Structures are given as C-alpha cells and as structure tokens.
Amino acid sequence: MNKDEYLKELRKLLRKLPKEDREDIISDYEEHFTIGMEKGRTEEEISKALGNPKNVAKQIKADHMVKKAEDKPSVGSIIEAILAIMGLGLFNLIFVAVPVLVVVAIIITLFVIGFVMIFGGIYWVLLPLLSFIFPKLLLTPSIVPNTSVLMDSLFTMLGGFAVTIGGILLVVAMVYVSKWFYELMIRYLKLNLRIIEGRKRDV
C-alpha cells in the first residue's frame, strides 16, 4: 500500500471524527511518510511499519472517545469510550468490560438500596399518622390515647426517620462515588490505551 492509498483509506475510516481533528491526524501521518522517505524507506515499508489502517483507525477513534468523555462528562460519552477501547481486542474486552460492569452493578445496587430506604423510611414515618386518619382504609385498629400504642407509634416514626436519613446519606455518598469512579475510569482507559498503543512508532 503506497502513501496515497494508505492516507485515503485512513481518511475514509476516520470520516465520523470532526473534520479538524481528522485533518490534523492525516497531516501527522503524511509527516510520518515524509520523514520515512527522507530516511530512504519506500512508501510500502512505511505503510507496513505504521500498521493496518483499520487497526490504526480503531486506536485513533478510541483515543478520541476517551478525550471526549474527559472533556464532556456524560454517561453516553463514557459508554462510547469503553466500547471503542473494547473494540481494540480481547484483552480490552476482558480487562475493561469486566471491571466496569462489576463496579457499575455495585453502584446501581447501592443507589437502589438508598432509594428503597428513603421511600421505605417515609412510609414508616407516615404510617402512624395515616392510621389516625384512615384507620379503616389501612385495616388497622383505631389508635387510642394509650401509652404503649403512642410509644409504639413514636418508635415507628423515629425508626422511619433514621432509615430515611440513612437512605439520603447513602444516595449522596453514591453520587460522589459515581463522580470519583468516572474520573478513575478515564484514567484507567488512558492507561489501557498507553499499554496497547501501536501507532506512535518511529518510522
């Protein structure tokens, strides 16, 4: 594959990238060819040294997606970045997808537990009050001014408050954990790219 064929194929594979970024990348690869030819190498030798355009394009797109996820944090951006890196090979599929899925599953589970605690706690706070107002609707006996019943209602409400506050604290904590995990994931993806990066070769 000569220079023109290589660059044409690479440009085609990178067509979904922003035009400015794409042209900068193509310019860099043109420079690789220029430097290589100055050293006495043929265009075919340089093409082979640079690697298959398809693999090069995958690497470039993965790098682009990671930068996008870092600059514009969102669930969609990080998912695109993870998928792009997973597409680089089996190694990435195992060492990126598995840890991410495990941690995300844990975070989602804790979020769900937190919301269940909040709504469950609110229910137990309101239950004694609703029992006073709708005793028949709730199928509970009318609460009379009896010490044991009042104390029981008080403990129920206090327990409900405690559970609700615990749920709120858990959800708030998971918001911070999610932000921290996002930043950690970006670093991990960058490290992964550096490990497998093959396009920064001296040609």
pLDDT of residue 42 exceeding 60: yes
Residue-averaged pLDDT of the chain? 81
DSSP assignments along 133-191, one per residue: H-TTTTT-PPPPS-HHHHHHHHHHHHHHHHHHHHHHHHHHHHHHHHHHHHHHHHHHHHH
Mean pLDDT of 20-45: 87
| Closest by Cα among 154, 169, 166 to 124 | 154
Say what the pLDDT of residue 202 is: 41
Mean pLDDT of 80-104: 78
**Chain Cα centroid distance, residue 187:** 12
Largest Cα–Cα distance in the chain?
A: 100
Residue 6 pLDDT level (bands cut at 50, 70, 90): confident
Mean pLDDT of 146-162: 73
Say what the pLDDT of residue 188 is: 83
**What span, in angstroms and rounded, lies between the C-alpha atoms of 22 and 81?**
17
pLDDT of residue 201 exceeding 60: no
Mean pLDDT of 89-108: 79
pLDDT of residue 145 exceeding 60: no
Say what the pLDDT of residue 180 is: 92
Say what the pLDDT of residue 176 is: 93
Residue 141 pLDDT level (bands cut at 50, 70, 90): very low
Q: Tell me which of 55-59, 87-91, 144-148, 183-187 is least confident.
A: 144-148
Residue 148 pLDDT level (bands cut at 50, 70, 90): low
pTM assigned to the model: 0.65
What's the half-sphere exposure (Cβ side, CA atoms, 13 Å) at 161? 7
Greater confidence, 92 or 129?
A: 129
